[in-house]
Amino acid sequence: MERRQVGSAGLRVSALGLGTMSWGRDTDRADAADILRTFLDGGGTLVDTAASYGDGDAEQVLGEALDGQVSRDDVVLVTKAGVRNGPAGPRRDASRGGLLGELDASLRRLGTDHVDLFLVACPDPTTPLEETVSALRLAVSSGRARYVGLSNHPAWASARAATLLESDGTGLAALELEYSLLQRGLEREIVPAALDLGLGVLAWSPLGRGVLTGKYRRSVPVDSRAASDHLAGFVGQYLEDAASAAIVEAVATAAEGLGRAPLEVALAWLLARPAVACAVVGARTPLQLKGALAAADLVLPGEVHAALDDVSAVEVGYPERW
Phi and psi dihedrals of 224, rounded to 5?
Answer: -95, 165
Q: What's the DSSP call for residue 24?
A: T
Domains for the chain: give ranges and CATH numbers. 3-210+266-301 (3.20.20.100)
Per-residue pLDDT, 322: 74
**Cα separation, 63 vs 53, whole angstroms:** 13
Phi and psi dihedrals of 151, rounded to 5?
Answer: -125, 135
Per-residue pLDDT, 231: 59
Would you call 111 exposed, middle or buried from its count of C-beta atoms within 10 A (0-12, 13-18, 19+)? middle
Partners of 48 in the β-ladder:
19, 78
Q: Give me the catalytic one of 53, 147, 216, 238.
A: 53
Total Cβ atoms within 10 A of residue 262: 24
pTM: predicted TM-score of the whole model, two decimal places: 0.93
Best CA proximity match to 142, nearest among 165, 121, 113: 113
Per-residue pLDDT, 236: 61
53 assigned to active site: yes
Would you call 293 exposed, middle or buried from its count of C-beta atoms within 10 A (0-12, 13-18, 19+)? buried
Q: Are 114 and 70 in contact (CB under 8 A)?
A: no
Task: Give tens-digit pLDDT for 219-275.
Answer: 565 455 544 555 556 666 776 777 889 999 999 999 999 999 999 999 999 999 999
Q: Are 124 and 82 in contact (CB under 8 A)?
A: yes
Partners of 263 in the β-ladder:
none
Q: Are 165 and 118 in contact (CB under 8 A)?
A: no
User: With left for phi above 0 and alpha for psi between -120 and 50, is residue 192 left, alpha or beta?
Assistant: alpha
Per-residue pLDDT, 227: 41
Characterize the bridge pairing of strands 89-92 and 276-281. unpaired
Which pLDDT tens digits describe the chain residue by residue (322 residues)?
999 999 999 999 999 999 999 998 888 899 999 999 999 999 999 999 999 999 999 999 999 999 988 999 999 999 999 998 777 778 899 999 999 999 999 999 999 999 999 999 999 999 999 999 999 999 999 999 999 999 999 999 999 999 999 989 999 999 999 999 999 999 999 999 999 999 999 999 999 998 999 887 665 654 555 445 555 566 667 767 778 899 999 999 999 999 999 999 999 999 999 999 999 999 888 888 998 999 999 999 999 999 999 999 998 888 887 7
